[in-house]
Structure 1
Amino acid sequence: MKNTVLKIWRFYVDGFRGMTLGRTLWFIILVKLFIMFFILRLFFFPNYLNTPAVGGDKEEYVGRELIHRAIGDPP
């Protein structure tokens, strides 16, 4: 079992060492993931739970918001 895992590890390490175009593609993939998960989150997905909960605990606030959004009523 240990030998098999070591062979698999060496296979991938040798494959990544031999890449030329692949390194550039992996860099592009990582940049796109960074943009999607960090940059877009800051601008398009505000954190509503950091706002003060009106009328009680955060659990009540979240429950009330889910119900209003499911029904379509404005709060």
Structure 2
Amino acid sequence: MRNLVTGIWQFYVEGFRSMTLGRTLWLIIAIKLFIMFFILRLFFFPNYLNKAAVGSDKEEYVSRELILRAQENGD
């Protein structure tokens, strides 16, 4: 089993060493992921739970919001 894992690891290491265009593409992918998950999250997905409830009130806030929204949609 260890031989198989070592062989697979060596296959990928040698493949990445011989890349020229691939390294540039992986760099572009990494930059895009950074932008999507870190920068866009800060501006477009604020953390409402930390603003609305503090400490142990979070559970009550979530349950209250779920009940209120279910009642609004049920009418």
- Tell me if both proteins adopt one fold, taking TM over 0.5 as the criterion: yes
Runs of 4+ in 1 over 6 A off after TM superposition: none
Which protein has the bigger helix share? 2
Q: Which amino acid aligns with 2:2?
A: K
Partner of 1:36: 36
**How many angstroms apart in 1 are the aligned matches of 2:25 and 2:62?**
41
Q: TM-score, normalised by structure 1?
A: 0.80
TM-score by length of 2: 0.80
The number of residue pairs the alignment matches comes to: 72
**Unmatched 5+ residue regions in structure 2?**
none
Q: Which runs of 5 or more residues in structure 1 are unaligned?
A: none
Sequence identity percentage = 75
Residue 9 (1) aligns with residue 9 (2): yes
| Aligned-residue CA RMSD (Å) | 2.2
